[in-house]
Amino acid sequence: MSRASVSLAILAAILVALPFLLGNYALSVATLILYFAYTGQAWNVMMGFAGQLSLGHAVYVGVGAYAAGSLFFHYGIGPWAGVLLAMALCVALGLIIGFLAFRFRISGVYFALLTIAFAEFTRIGFDHLDWTGGPGGMFLRVAQRDTWDLANFRGPPLMYYYAMLALAAGAFALCAWLLRSRAGYYWQAIREDEEAAQALGINTFRWKLLAVAISAAMTAVAGVFFAFYYNNLFPEQIFHISRSIEIILGPVIGGVGTLFGPVLGATVLTLLSDGITEALAAVGWEIPGIKQVFYGVVLLAVVMFLPNGIWPALARRLRL
Amino acid sequence: MSLLDVRSVSKHFRGLRAVHEVSFDVAEGGIQGLIGPNGAGKTTTFNMIAGVYAPDTGEILFAGRAIHRLRPDEICAAGIGRTFQIVKPFAGLSVLDNVMVGAFLRERHAANARAAAAKILERLGLGAKRDLPASSLTLPDRKRLEVARALATRPKLLLLDEVMAGLRPTECDQMVAVFRELNRADGTTILLIEHVMRAVMALARQIAVLHHGALIARGTPEQVVRDPAVLECYLGEETEV
């Protein structure tokens, strides 16, 4: 086995054993890290692989969460059916955005603006949709949480941790496979030079749409998890642009277009942000916005000193 | 029989008449040169064949099929491979991966595409550099990479846009040998735009000359260099014949 696969096996073993070493609070932080590793991986398919910058990925989290949440709230239908609906809706939405952009040659920052616009007016739409509770939000019934009720995805924090671990590992494997397949090569060619890619027989319109569809479907699953983990959904929060930014920070810090970037970035950012919250609480400082300032400083430092993200530099050091 | 048939195509950019009523054909298995001074409309003609621009008037037939309304990717799939005058490597990918992207057109599986790409790199003398990032290549190697990538799509017709420019004479001769071999062994038809007359004279069996967007002469290299119209348009320019 290569150094890389041995390291991967060790990491997997640690992640599986982790809950037995952690308390409840630490477990919730670990779950959050995996959540951002997963959503970062999903976003990376579009931006990192195919070069299409989305600044509105919160729209897929939100639509996915509301789709599965509504089924459960109104009809008592569990998330297994809900996740299918969520994925279908998000793929459809992604294809609409992608079709409009790629058909009318909207690219680069203008494409990014279009993704923000869709997230924003979806938020406003949900604010006026009484069926999902409007701006007042939607609350899923919280049952007793000692036993694992997999059918309704209700259970102790441990269940959510393992579910998120399975999702993050699955996304990692999927992305690793995609990168080595024809799709991965075509996406990277499109990212590097779209005109040259087209001259090599690549229908760039279709392959870009495929990247959007896969990314949207993956993110929709994160939305379903979000709904059943937090049990309350507000358009103001779930569709907010800061949520979209949160999703992209992990891969940007870790390394856009790499497999480990999103994982590493999510870990570093979540631990640092939690660490500083704790540290500030310990010394009794309560300065509003200090966490955001901290985020900004880390982001600046990484962009200045490691413009390709932490992972490429680290991988060289570790000779992976 | 002609593989490519360009029939009185024209292209205007706003007021500029880039190409006007140009007709020529390329015989199957032939090597055709397309020459002319700067701004003669060579690259515009190329881009119409490759599907980057649709001609304003006229039509282009490839193996008897009209292709002038197709997209670049459809034209590549139909069997026309092209290089870019200003090279366009996928800078972030390795040399091998660059060529694999082309090979995937005919090979769905990565292992097969990799094998096909490796073979082409050997042929173009880039075998030793296959794992380097494309961004690290020198200009002559980047030109070779352009050719390798286009060849990986297994074209029946190869469009070469100034692939010899910037090469030293010995490098140029190597390229000429590669194209001759390709034409002889694989039967690949070649249409090349070239400023380096040394290469055109060595390769082309037929030459078409463009000037101010119009075709002013056609024939064998010997006929073309004696043509008064050609001599006139090149007068004062340095031509290394």
Give the pLDDT of residue B167.
86
Q: What is the pLDDT of residues A167-178, one digit of tens each?
A: 999 999 999 999
Count the alpha carbons within 13 Å of A111 in the hemisphere toward its beta carbon: 23
Q: How far, in Å, CA of A139 to CA of B158, rounded?
A: 63
Confidence of residue A63 (pLDDT cuts 50, 70, 90): very high
In this predicted structure, the answer to whether residue A303 has a pLDDT above a threshold of 90 is no
* Smallest Cα distance from B177 to chain A, Å: 24
Contact A191, A49 (CB under 8 A): yes
* Smallest Cα distance from A64 to chain B, Å: 33
**Averaged pLDDT, A33-43:** 98
- Proportion of chain A above pLDDT 70, given as a percent: 99
> Chains A and B: how many Cβ contacts under 8 Å?
77
- Report CB contact under 8 Å: B91, A192: yes
**Averaged pLDDT, B111-131:** 95
Give the pLDDT of residue A292.
76
In a domain, B24, yes or no: yes
- Proportion of chain A above pLDDT 90, given as a percent: 75
Which residues in chain A have their CB less than 8 angstroms from residue B72's CB?
195, 198-199
Return the residue in B71, B87, B90 with the most chain A beta carbons within 10 A, the one to mutate for interface testing: B90
In a domain, B50, yes or no: yes
- Smallest Cβ–Cβ distance between A193 and the set B88, B97, B104 belongs to B88
In a domain, B187, yes or no: yes
In a domain, B179, yes or no: yes
CATH class of A3-318: mainly alpha
Q: How far, in Å, CA of A153 to CA of A81, rounded?
A: 12
* Smallest Cα distance from A36 to chain B, Å: 26
Number of domains into which chain B is organized: 1
**Would you say the C-alpha torsion B64, B104, A45, A177 has a positive or negative sign?**
positive
Return the residue in A195, A200, A206, A316 with the most chain B beta carbons within 10 A, the one to mutate for interface testing: A200
In a domain, B145, yes or no: no
A106-120, A148-162, A207-221: least confidently modelled range: A148-162
Domain ranges (residues) in chain A: 3-318
- Smallest Cβ–Cβ distance between B90 and the set A180, A192, A204 belongs to A192
Q: Which residues of A150-179 are buried (b: 16+ CB within 10 A; e: fewer)?
A: eebbbbebebbbbbbbebbbebbeebeebb
Mean pLDDT of chain A: 92
**Would you say the C-alpha torsion B12, B15, B17, B18 has a positive or negative sign?**
negative
Q: Tell which wins on pLDDT, A288 or A169.
A: A169
Return the residue in A47, A180, A192 with the most chain B beta carbons within 10 A, the one to mutate for interface testing: A192
- Report CB contact under 8 Å: A204, B73: yes
Which residues in chain A have their CB less than 8 angstroms from residue B104's CB?
182, 185-186
A107 in contact with chain B, both atoms CB, cutoff 8 A: no
Give the pLDDT of residue B191.
96
In a domain, B16, yes or no: yes
Q: What is the pLDDT of residues B180-204, one digit of tens each?
A: 999 999 999 999 998 878 888 889 9
Q: How far, in Å, CA of A115 to CA of A319, rounded?
A: 37
* Smallest Cα distance from B43 to chain A, Å: 15
Q: Which residue of A has its CA nearest to B51?
A: A199
Q: What is the pLDDT of residues A228-274, one digit of tens each?
A: 999 999 999 999 999 999 999 999 999 999 999 999 999 999 988 88
Q: What is the pLDDT of residues B162-180, one digit of tens each?
A: 998 888 888 888 889 999 9
Q: Which domain holds residue B209?
A: 2-87+156-234
B135 in contact with chain A, both atoms CB, cutoff 8 A: no
**Averaged pLDDT, B35-51:** 92
- DSSP annotation of A154 reads B
Which residues in chain B have their CB less than 8 angstroms from residue A204's CB?
73
Give the pLDDT of residue B239.
54
**Secondary structure in 3-state letters for B72-116:** HHHHHHHCEEECCCCCCCCCCCEHHHHHHHHHCCCCCCHHHHHHH
Confidence of residue B240 (pLDDT cuts 50, 70, 90): low
Chain A residues 200-259 with CB within 8 Å of chain B: 200-204, 257
* Smallest Cα distance from B104 to chain A, Å: 7
CATH number for the domain that contains residue B203: 3.40.50.300
Which residues in chain A have their CB less than 8 angstroms from residue B153's CB?
200-201
Which residues in chain A have their CB less than 8 angstroms from residue B101's CB?
185-186, 188-189, 197, 200, 202
DSSP labels, chain B? -EEEEEEEEEEEETTEEEEEEEEEEEETT-EEEEE-STTSSHHHHHHHHTTSS--SEEEEEETTEE-TTS-HHHHHHHTEEE--SS----TTSBHHHHHHHHHTTT--SHHHHHHHHHHHHHHTT-GGGTTSBGGG--HHHHHHHHHHHHHHT--SEEEEESSSTT--HHHHHHHHHHHHHIIIII--EEEEE-S-HHHHHHH-SEEEEEETTEEEEEE-HHHHHH-HHHHHHHTTS----
In a domain, B227, yes or no: yes
Which residues in chain B have their CB less than 8 angstroms from residue A177's CB?
none
Q: Which residue of B has its CA nearest to A308?
A: B92
